[in-house]
Amino acid sequence: MRIALGVEYDGSGYNGWQSQPDMPSVQDALQLALSGVANTPISIAAAGRTDTGVHALEQVVHFDTAVKRPLSAWVRGTNALLPKDIAVLWAHEVTEEFHARFSAQARSYQYVLINRPSRSAVHHDKVGWFHLPLNIDAMREAAQYLLGEHDFSAFRAAECQAKTPIKTLLQLDIQQNGETILINLKANAFLHHMVRNIMGCLIYVGKGKYPPGWVGEVLRGKNRKFAAPTFMANGLYLRHITYDAKWGLPQGTMSARS
């Protein structure tokens, strides 16, 4: 039997999604809780890995088990064993053809940025922060250079394990509400640090260091060293994973949809 789960988490206290020796990870915490419900070891696969400090509104995972449990037990029973900063939103039985990662058609992220002279005390680990005024119109103009299918090598971390740097960025829009700026991104897939590296470049344009067209030059150059530094992880959220409707996943029932 294969079960898919929707999972929400605060990544502040974890060394990213993926299991790593001697470091806390979201994957380890979730596998431990699921194993407690099943009374046998459970191994999970996720739609995508998130970095240290990155959050998720609806990560999707799947696991195989011969143990019979009602779907409600995979939600409530697992949540009872999870730390307070991780929660299962829903559970759904799928066929063995479904794979959380390989069946995904797109991934959506949102970056929440506070733009004011002083940092946020209340939301310090949930938002990014930049102290100088930002030109939102210039950032929006710069964003247009990144839409579509491109070689995103200039926005790729050195340790990225993706087979190809060619990705299709389907959405990159920027909204402002007072001191809060929301950057929404959607792509067929993302490279390691791709969103945070895009953020760094948009910040450079917004503060006036470079004109909007510079982002296009960085993209065409395909060289990471000419791009801006990787921006902080705090405000980054994995928002939604897009799948074909045939899988019948109950997505968006407790989280925002793209």
Question: Would you say 141 and 212 are in contact if contact means Cβ atoms under 8 Å apart?
Answer: yes
Rounded-to-integer distance, Cα 115 and Cα 145, Å: 23
Which stretch of DSSP H or E encloses residue 174?
Answer: strand 166-177
Other beta carbons within 10 angstroms of residue 168's beta carbon come to 14
Angle between the 136-143 and 213-221 helix axes, to the nearest 10 degrees? 30
Active site residue: 22, 51, 85, 151, which one? 51
Return all residues near 120 (Cβ < 8 A) that are at least 6 apart.
114, 127, 129
Closest CA to 17 of 49, 59, 58, 45: 49
Question: Would you say 183 and 110 are in contact if contact means Cβ atoms under 8 Å apart?
Answer: yes
Catalytic annotation present for 51: yes
Q: How far is CA 181 from CA 52, 70, 121, 123, 167, in A?
A: 22, 41, 17, 14, 25
The catalytic residues are: 51
